Amino acid sequence: MHQSKWIILTIIIACQLIVVLDASIMVTAVPQIGHSLHMTATSLTWVHNGYILPFGGFLLLGARAGDLLGRRRMLSVGIGLFSLASMLAGLAPTAEFLLVSRAFQGFAAALTTPAALALLSASFVEAKERSRAIAVYSAVSAGGGSIGLILGGFFTDFISWRVGMFINVPIGIALLYLVQRFIQKTDTRTGRFDLWGAVTSVIGMTALVYGFIQAADQGWGKPETLISLAAGIVLLAVFVLIEARTKEPIIPLRLFASRQRTGAYLGRFLLLCGNFSLFFFIPQFLQNVLDFSSFEAGLAFLPFNGAMFGMLYLMPRLVHRFGNIKVLIAGLLLAIIGTAWMSQIVSIHVQFFPQMFILLAIMGIGTGMALQPFTSLGLSDVDSRDTGAASGLINVAHQSGSSLGLAVLITVFDAAIRTTGQPSKLQFAHAISDSILGSAVFITSALVATLFYLLPAHQPARKQSLIDS
């Protein structure tokens, strides 16, 4: 790989890393944020979801903007807005100001991420180079969450949770310079923005997540919960109708004409429903049951993070030897085993080392093996006009899965808390165990989707090759 391409890859990865970090950098800081800004337990969930929902919801609009206005331009605009929003979040004097700033951050991230992935796809066209580049990108996309936990915990314990926001500002300024210096200007096109599609998708997903959070806080039978869930379902159905009828949709439904791509998008969504929730529940267990500090809870994810990045060096060879689908299935099986086993050992008596340490490493290996194939399969055989939309859809599956999965599993956690009469730490450990088991169910669903959608597409191709030989 030429030096210039390494520079481009480094810039793209750095852009992706800062937006992924900010999805988790607040997790270990949640108790401190609640104390300093007087936020309730329910409102604290929006520190995370207030970022993730506009991030996932506007990704497709961001991808479309990159196609029409130029990907380098949108990457620069996204980084600039992200840096500004990060500074505002760090300065937040009230809970409301923080949540609005986080939403602004999420919108900026939605402009940045699809432009970065589309530039990666366009810059690395040779098969071996592209495989290596996607491996790095996938590892950062997944491992960035655990890095965020470590940094967030460090800043919270030793300085302030606000530093986790301020640090994005100098990084963003440096990236703006590097993007202009090393990434060539990309072409623009004429066309329209599917604004109604973007609005209905964002509001619909927000309503759905809000409904699950209200179910956890108020109960399933409350009118506010039912109305919110119903509104989310209706708005998402309207979104699909808009995409089917508009001339220039943010999600061209032709992307789902490929069974392989459909399976990759759905599988990634379900994997993240289960996987990202672990970054929320396990640190809470470590802090509230095992009495870890915020920084120690972040460091506890090093085995997951180390295993994830270790797979970076092995994935190109594994994929070359066994193919994307076999590696993907093996990775999902490892992730399921590690997560299900983790749910069974979580208790007030568990020792972090070696039990949790080993299982986190197994989960990291499995996730690292799964994400790169999902990315490659989601971009496979995409027409050049749809590259931005396909890149955006991969990230939509990633972010919406993170948000919706956490919202659903919070209801599992709350139900377990309410139905047990055990002492406080036992009660909390029991609820965390149930939530992690829910994560395993989501990841198992990702495996089922993979087998259903990807194996039928794989087998005929194999039979045809035997006939040809």
pLDDT, position 449: 96
Examine the pLDDT at 457 and tell me if it is beyond 60.
no
pLDDT, position 311: 85
Give the highest mean pLDDT range of 219-223, 446-450, 451-455.
446-450
Q: Letter for the amino acid at 329?
A: I
pLDDT per position as a tens digit, 337-369: 999 999 999 999 999 999 999 999 999 999 989
pLDDT classification of 117: cutoffs 50, 70, 90: confident
Tell me the CA end-to-end span of the chain in Å, nearest whole number. 34
**Domain layout of the chain by residue ranges:** 3-184+250-468, 194-249
Q: What is the DSSP letter of 184?
A: P
- CB atoms < 10 A from the CB of 176, how many? 16
pLDDT, position 467: 36
Burial of 420 (0-12, 13-18, 19+ CB in 10 A): middle
Examine the pLDDT at 464 and tell me if it is beyond 50.
no
pLDDT per position as a tens digit, 122-133: 888 787 888 788
Q: Are 411 and 216 in contact (CB under 8 A)?
A: yes
Examine the pLDDT at 419 and tell me if it is beyond 70.
no
pLDDT classification of 118: cutoffs 50, 70, 90: confident
Q: Are 280 and 288 in contact (CB under 8 A)?
A: no
Helix (H) or strand (E) holding 253: none
pLDDT classification of 174: cutoffs 50, 70, 90: very high
Q: Letter for the amino acid at 446?
A: A
Q: Any idea which fold 3-184+250-468 has?
A: Growth Hormone; Chain: A; (1.20.1250)
Examine the pLDDT at 200 and tell me if it is beyond 90.
yes
- Calculate mean pLDDT across residues 437-444: 98
User: How far is 224 from 326, CA to CA, in rounded Å?
Assistant: 45
3-state secondary structure of 185: coil
pLDDT, position 463: 41
Greater model confidence, 363 or 41: 363
- Calculate mean pLDDT across residues 139-152: 80
What is the torsional sign of CA 7, 117, 322, 383?
negative
Examine the pLDDT at 469 and tell me if it is beyond 70.
no
